[in-house]
Amino acid sequence: MPAWSIADERAFCGHMPSLFLASDLFAATYLRAGRHCLRPVTPLALSAAVTCEGPWLDQGDLDAYLACVLLALHQGVRTPRLRCPADEPARLAGLGGRAGAARFTARLHRLHEARVACRDGRFSARMQLLSAVVRDEASATLRIEFGPEPFEALRSAPGAARFIADRAALGRDGLGKWLLGVAWTLRETCLIDPHRLQSMVPKGKGRDILPLLQEFARRGYIRDMVTRSDGLVIVQPVHRPGGLRAAGGDASTAACGRGGADAPPVCRLLT
């Protein structure tokens, strides 16, 4: 029986950004009504079984989470805890005013309710993005306890603050935010079907995603992209910590696989 390996554990936890940014854990849109369920999660490149129990999360919930992470990064904290004025992360998430603050609080509660289970060939883990949300009504102060594994993986990833800021600049573009998360976390070349992406969000039909990918390339999130004769786009992300090697093949297989049952996971979700 192999001994417990701290290095292997860190490598497993280092996959966390890719788990929730390059998967359907957070829907690539802003949902109107919340649903509670136990559902499988499809990571693009993680060779593991993943489920999420609780509310069906969306990009608005991710806005709230990353706003809190960004504040913690600005404060220079090394422990998974944030203490701040209650309205500060809400403003960063684009939810100002009393009504916005109430919506932000509801999103924090949804993040706290969600339970993520992940199991690969060696490690298994049950995690929360937020383990505690405490509000002092007298001083209007908020204390947030992050789930340690996802927070530490984001805190230690180079360029995390810039990614969060660039993502926030996309406003209410849920698909654009989701796709930027894919570009930031994946290491392997991938094949993208623009029509498949359009079908992931309401009213996405007819949207041209090529300008979006070109903008990500200009900002340094994508190293190269080529449109094939069949309309599919080969994208080569910049190598970044936190990404995962595509399961089932090397980079050329992920980019040029024929699809179907034998295609690597990165192809099945994007094509």
Q: Rank 29-33, 95-99, 246-250 by mean pLDDT and report only the highest.
A: 95-99
The predicted-structure confidence for 48-82, as pLDDT tens digits, reads as follows: 789 999 999 999 999 999 999 999 999 998 889 99
The answer to whether 56 and 34 have CB atoms below 8 angstroms apart is yes
pLDDT at 39: 87
Residue 248 has pLDDT above 90, yes or no: no
E strand or H helix at 191, and its extent?
Answer: strand 190-192
C-alpha 125/C-alpha 22 separation (Å) is 18
Residue-averaged pLDDT of the chain: 84
Residue 130 has pLDDT above 70, yes or no: yes
For 117, counting Cβ atoms within 10 Å of its Cβ (0-12 exposed, 13-18 middle, 19+ buried), the class is middle
Give the residue extent of every domain in the chain. Answer: 6-155, 175-270
Residue type, 140: A
C-alpha 148/C-alpha 77 separation (Å) is 12
Proportion of the chain in helix, strand, coil states, percent, rounded to 5: 40, 20, 40
Least confident of 154-158, 187-191, 263-267: 263-267
Task: Decide the pairing of beta strands 49-55 and 36-41.
Answer: antiparallel
Residue 106 has pLDDT above 90, yes or no: yes
E strand or H helix at 77, and its extent?
Answer: none
Q: Using a pLDDT cut of 70, give the percent of the chain over it.
A: 84
Q: What is the DSSP letter of 11?
A: H
Least confident of 49-53, 56-60, 122-126, 261-265: 261-265
The answer to whether 254 and 266 have CB atoms below 8 angstroms apart is yes
C-alpha 155/C-alpha 76 separation (Å) is 10
pLDDT at 85: 96
Decide which of 2.30.29, 1.25.10, 1.10.760, 1.10.10 is the CATH code for 6-155. Answer: 1.10.10
The predicted-structure confidence for 160-210, as pLDDT tens digits, reads as follows: 999 999 999 999 999 999 999 999 987 788 888 888 888 877 766 678 889
